[in-house]
A = this chain, B = another copy of it.
């Protein structure tokens, strides 16, 4: 759990500790400067501690009193840390390496709350994962909110609490943010953008273009859970299934893989979000100008997800995951990589699903359960809009 106290070190000194320490514990020394920051925030808190309105108003986007109250009562309350608290125009980071990763994603998922997660933890985990798959260690996130006038403040509090928990679990801090409010009918409750900065503690350079014929393609677990969960959570379909989003931070799983498989044996990692595993396979084939051949029977899919997909007429290979890794590794390291993934709970069902081939460059082929082969093209159209 992230609290200010846990991050309370010298002049921005060690950002290294894991934020999941309990909130009440105050064991670390506090510098004069940090105490000043804390005192200032505490004073501001005493003056304007809570949002009186039940719903977001245009005033919350004015930059004035209502905005300040919202920031202090909701965002600082959830994300509090010494880098965020001064509320200057940008956070001041110390980076332990000169090579950094930088990414962004906007989240427009509908509904905002769903089995297994909500837009808040999705927004944290998604950006943590985009940093992690490059081989970087995620450290800092920004959070930009676009709120629709009338959005319930209680929902905002709930999803910022999810963000806080997700950030703590992934060991990252939300250090800078922004809030805009638009009129009713100009958004859909709440959109969140997160950008992330990580550092390369290891000397790795990964990328799907590095894939070579013969390389093994691995997925870290069952595919399609997130997308099917969202579709069913919309309640527009008369289908019930016991599914939940797989939203999770992959940085721990990836650190284990990086330990087990030396680069350049590990060629590339991607997290299979929008467009699913099928899209990543196509990106591999295109970037590497090689073929990809995977076996339908080797791709892990939960029974509930397979059943719902069939009813929806959707191939689970195209369905978004939010906690699944696709890795390309030199085939010599394939068993090693699968073992490293299976050693962690998030990777228990990791499997080799196919290989990169010299034949059919640019094309992804699937060996079906019936022994045939079909081409798996990029998604045309959008069968699953606003899945993330």
Contacts and interface: CB of A to CB of B under 8 A. Distances in A.
Contacts of A90: 101-103, 130-131, 133-134, 136, 196, 198
* Integer count of this chain's copies in the complex: 2
A86 interface: yes
Given A10-B99, A90-B198, A186-B187, A64 B382 contact: yes
Given A102-B197, A104-B176, A144-B193, A181 B63 contact: no
A233 interface: no
A113 interface: no
A106 B68 CA distance: 17
A283 B88 CA distance: 10
A53 to B, nearest CB: 12
A144 B270 CA distance: 19
A88 to B, nearest CB: 5
A92 to B, nearest CB: 6
A360 to B, nearest CB: 16
A157 interface: no
Given A144-B193, A382-B58, A92 B103 contact: no
A332 interface: no
Interface in A342-388: 377-386
A93 interface: yes
A209 interface: yes
A50 B168 CA distance: 42
Interface of A: 10, 36-37, 40, 43-44, 58-59, 61-68, 86-96, 98-108, 129-131, 133-134, 136, 140, 142-146, 175-178, 180-183, 185-188, 191, 193, 195-198, 200, 205-209, 270-271, 273-275, 279, 283, 286-287, 289, 318, 320, 377-386
